[in-house]
Amino acid sequence: MSGPRWLTGFLDSPSRVAEPFWSAVTGSGLSARRGPGGEFATLLPGGGDAYLRVQVVGDGPARCHLDLHVEDVAAQARRVVGLGASVVLSDGELVVLRSPAGLLFCLVPWRGEAVRPAGGRGLVDQMCLDVPRAVFDGEADFWAAVTGWERRPGSLPEFDFLVRPDGMPLRLLLQRVGGDGAGMHLDLACDDRAAEVARHVELGAAVAWTGPRWTTLRDPAGRPYCVTDRPVTGP
């Protein structure tokens, strides 16, 4: 059975305060709102298929999760549970699960998405899974099995990554972190990090940390994310 045909990164927030920021950063429009309380919307790129969405969750802190678009939600849910996930919610159309390390993700129907949007000066192109060192190897193996993507060591010892198929909009990076809690954050590739960071700050972000290869910022909702030196046209 094949893995996901498409990935969507979700920005989960207590309010809509960061939505104009992410629309501006990505150069995307915002779709009509969906859900009983209008909690969902899609960031619509200028070309290609959408792969970023926003959700008002009503509690904090602001965070991220992944949707995996699959051909058969029920069958994939059974497979993923067999790999170590636990079901949080199933409503027939989608299944919400928790990974062995505690990361929330969803299985949703694939609707034919296939065209990765092109980047401009910057491109949201990676979801980083921040995993405590004590459970890192098991969690990395879990995601490799769920996706069917090869696990490889990163350029720094704290990172591994999964080799995404051509055309997939989001790469998956796994980072060894301290503490007991796992989380996710988005990363952007860019051609000029200093200029891209300055653009984000002008739009409302705040710099949290700057290193030799990436800068960590917080969006207007306080959600951490990174602008990296990885090229926009990279794999």
One-letter-per-residue 3-state SS of 151-197: EEECCCCCEEEECCCCCCCCEEEEEEECCCCCEEEEEEEECCHHHHH
Contacts of residue 65, defined as CB under 8 A and 6 or more positions apart, other chains included, come to 10, 12, 103, 104, 105, 106, 184
The alpha carbon of 97 is separated from its chain's Cα centroid by a whole number of angstroms, namely 15
Separation CA 226–CA 128 (nearest Å): 9
Q: Which two tokens stand for residue 181?
A: 């809690």
Question: What is this structure's pTM?
Answer: 0.97
Q: What is the per-residue pLDDT across 172-205, written as a single tens digit (0 to 9) for each? A: 999 999 999 999 999 999 999 999 999 999 999 9
What's residue 233's pLDDT? 79
Which strand (E) or helix (H) includes residue 53?
A: strand 52-56
Q: How far is CA 49 from CA 6, 8, 86, 104, in A?
A: 10, 10, 29, 23
What is the sign, positive or negative, of the torsion defined by CA atoms of 170, 221, 47, 193? negative
CATH 3.10.180.10 domain locations along the chain:
6-109, 122-228
Helix (H, G, I), strand (E, B) or coil at 230: coil
Return the half-sphere exposure (C-beta side, CA atoms, 13 A cut-off) of residue 154.
16
What's residue 2's pLDDT? 83
CA angle 182, 37, 5 (to 5 degrees): 50
Helix (H, G, I), strand (E, B) or coil at 199: helix
What's residue 1's pLDDT? 64
Please tell us whether the domain made up of 122-228 is placed in CATH 3.30.365.10.
no
**Which CATH architecture describes the domain 6-109?**
Roll (3.10)
What's residue 234's pLDDT? 72
What's residue 104's pLDDT? 98
Residue that has been written with the tokens 């940390």 in this structure: 209
What residues in the chain have per-residue pLDDT under 50?
none
